[in-house]
Amino acid sequence: MNVSSETSLKSCLSCHVGHLRDERSTYTQWHEGQLIVVPNMPAQVCDYCGETHFHPIVLERLHQLLWASADQQTKDDIIKKPHSIHPPHGKATTLSSDP
């Protein structure tokens, strides 16, 4: 029995027509009047409607880096210093304010 790779793809949670494919995308979010932009984040993008879904573990790690108060760093200090985000497949994405 031949199983197509298309059948193993996850269906889009928004349109229910397309399939989600692993890609890299820019994550943006407003927080306390500041726009947070993180380029090259691991994501799944629908090949039909273009909806982007970021992995919950990656988002949780990003939020820990940006808004953690455990080390008493200001948000500006956190954003200026590069940090690694480790997606589920083990590759690291570096967070940096540099282009």
In a domain, 68, yes or no: yes
Mean confidence (pLDDT) of the chain:
74
Split into its structural domains, the chain has a count of 1
Residue with the larger pLDDT of the pair 85 and 70: 85
In a domain, 38, yes or no: yes
DSSP state string for 29-75: EEETTEEEEEEEEEEEEETTT--EEE-HHHHHHHHHHHH--TT---H
In a domain, 27, yes or no: yes
- Give the integer Cα–Cα distance in Å for 81 and 65: 10
Task: Give me the CATH number covering residue 60.
Answer: 3.10.20
Lowest mean pLDDT among 19-23, 55-59, 68-72, 75-79: 68-72
Q: What is the pLDDT of residues 16-63, one digit of tens each?
A: 999 999 999 999 988 778 888 999 999 999 999 999 999 899 999 888
In a domain, 17, yes or no: yes
Q: Which domain holds residue 84?
A: 9-93
Mean pLDDT computed over 71-94: 52
